[in-house]
Amino acid sequence: MKRLMILTLVLMIVSLLAAAVAEAQEDGPVPTPIPVSDDEVNRVAKQLYCPVCPNTPLDVCETKACQDWRAQIKDQLGQGWTDQQVIDYFVTQYGERVLAEPKRSGFTAFVWLLPVLALGIGTIALVQLGRSWMARRIAPAAAAALAAQPAPEIPPEVLARLEKELRDMA
């Protein structure tokens, strides 16, 4: 029984030592932050909207939330994150509503296509409207030109043949 207790105690000590060694290996030296300028922070912040103020870019908003977000962007860039990784982080945390420019895929592609469609439909409508206006202006002028011309002379033999055919039909 005494041996069993000693063996259990030794196994517990070995397990704790193994866990301590594994924990110590996970923590490496703390990376030194990369110096980040305000211009670099604003380059990313321009691509995001304020979470509090509607339609306000993050780089110009002065709310506490925006100041915190800009500080977080600075920390992330200082840790070596890319601009896109920072933006993806905020989209993951807060949704696509924080993007200053919607993605050009899926349903949001409609946002990019709508102005093009509106321009195309407007152009077609203007062309059709212009044609109808021109047709109204030209029709009276064409009728007046036709009325001013003398009727063409029909040869007498053609008139005689038409009269004969009309009598035969009746």
- When mean pLDDT is compared across 19-23, 80-84, 136-140, the lowest value belongs to 19-23
Q: Which residue has the higher pLDDT, 57 or 102?
A: 57
Give the E-state strand segments of 25-170 in sequence order: none
- When mean pLDDT is compared across 72-76, 128-132, 135-139, 142-146, the lowest value belongs to 142-146
Q: Are residues 113 and 76 in the same domain?
A: no
Q: What is the rounded distance in angstroms from the CA atom of residue 119 to the CA atom of residue 52?
A: 34
Q: What is the rounded distance in angstroms from the CA atom of residue 62 to the CA atom of residue 47?
A: 16
Answer yes or no: is 160 within a domain.
no
Cα angle 68, 69, 74 (rounded to 5 degrees) comes to 95
What's the structural domain count of the chain? Answer: 2
pLDDT-derived band at 66 (thresholds 50, 70, 90) equals confident
Answer yes or no: is 67 within a domain.
yes
Range of the domain at 135: 103-140
pLDDT-derived band at 35 (thresholds 50, 70, 90) equals confident
Q: Which residue has the higher pLDDT, 142 or 165?
A: 165
Q: Are residues 111 and 130 in the same domain?
A: yes
CB 73 within 8 A of CB 86: yes
